[in-house]
Amino acid sequence: MGYDMSKFSLEGKVALVTGASYGIGFAIATAFAAAGAKIAFNDRSQEAVDRGLASYKEAGIEAHGYVADVTDEEAVAGLVENIEKDLGTIDILVNNAGIIKRIPMLEMSAADFRQVIDVDLNGPFIVSKAVIPGMIAKGHGKIINICSMMSELGRETVSAYAAAKGGLKMLTRNICSEYGEANIQCNAIGPGYIATPQTAPLRERQPDGSRHPFDAFIVAKTPAARWGTPEDLQGPAVFLASDASDFVNGHVLYVDGGILAYIGKQPQ
């Protein structure tokens, strides 16, 4: 009655991580490579893809990089076709590419709101729709959507982002519902506050050298009393991408240091 630990292996699997030149996507892709997967990633510009390729090479990973905007259906169809030509059918998809615009709702234009929804919600729909047929043909597949604490909570200035990430939680559950029978598991990771370029504005030092008020706020709200790192997401991502999670479906795994469970430290 032992356990076959090879179920955590991604040996021989083809993984596409969107927007993975750096940040959370890059960390997840490097963990997948360590678990044996072949890595494909995309970004919006050749310059970003080239930067990413150099970073993967430096990490000893032979990744395959492609220029594709996740909101562009034609570009995404070409992306999937090229990956299938270069590496084979995609076994694992991580919908990681995303943007945020921190603007008070009454000051946010409809165009700005639409752009965030387009990248953070329509993008995962477009890429998943392009990848699922290959997974069905192959008889299995793993989709991991990168949600957020804002899939559960709101805060000032992130109306578009929270709406997108809340929608992405339900898209996760719907893909689970519609394609579970095809042996496709669709889950999500909900990172807490992670130190990446996306959150750099919330952590930068103040002119007087003091900590950003939001930085102190998040540390007080997090039982782990620290910001997360992209590396904190690697193990959970490998689990959800592996055979070890074959009966986990439609789940949002929050990797947040406990912030969603905690009312926050009482001000001293």
Q: Which residues have a catalytic role annotated?
A: 161
Question: Contact with ligand GCO (CB under 6 A): which of 103, 131, 132, 149?
Answer: 149
Phi, psi at 125, each rounded to 5° = -60, -50
Question: Contact with ligand GCO (CB under 6 A): which of 25, 141, 192, 230?
Answer: 192
Smaller CB separation from ligand GCO, 37 or 188: 188
Question: Contact with ligand NAP (CB under 6 A): which of 135, 194, 218, 237?
Answer: 194
Per CB under 6 A, 197 contacts ligand NAP: yes
Per CB under 6 A, 253 contacts ligand GCO: no
Per CB under 6 A, 148 contacts ligand GCO: yes
Smaller CB separation from ligand GCO, 149 or 176: 149
Smaller CB separation from ligand NAP, 193 or 207: 193
**Sites for ligand GCO among residues 24-43 (CB under 6 A):** none
Q: What's the rounded Cα separation, in Å, for the pair 150 and 83?
A: 32
Q: Are 102 and 51 in contact (CB under 8 A)?
A: no
Per CB under 6 A, 24 contacts ligand NAP: yes
**Sites for ligand GCO among residues 83-122 (CB under 6 A):** 100, 102
3-state secondary structure string, the chain? CCCCHHHHCCCCCEEEEECCCCHHHHHHHHHHHHCCCEEEEEECCHHHHHHHHHHHHHCCCCCEEEECCCCCHHHHHHHHHHHHHHCCCCCEEEECCCCCCCCCHHHCCHHHHHHHHHHHHHHHHHHHHHHHHHHHHHCCEEEEEECCHHHCCCCCCCHHHHHHHHHHHHHHHHHHHHHHHHCEEEEEEEECCECCHHHHHHCCCCCCCCCCHHHHHHHHHCCCCCCECHHHHHHHHHHHHCHHHCCCCCCEEEECCCHHHCCCCCCC
**Sites for ligand NAP among residues 164-183 (CB under 6 A):** none
Smaller CB separation from ligand GCO, 145 or 242: 145
CB of 64 to ligand NAP, least distance (A): 15
CB of 264 to ligand GCO, least distance (A): 15
Q: Are strands 38-43 and 64-67 parallel, antiparallel or unpaired?
A: parallel
Smaller CB separation from ligand NAP, 67 or 244: 67
Per CB under 6 A, 185 contacts ligand NAP: no
Per CB under 6 A, 199 contacts ligand GCO: yes
Choices 26-34, 106-114, 131-139, 185-193 (CB under 6 A): range interacting with ligand GCO: 185-193
Residue numbers at the binding site for ligand GCO (CB under 6 A): 100, 102, 148-150, 155, 158, 161, 191-193, 198-199, 202
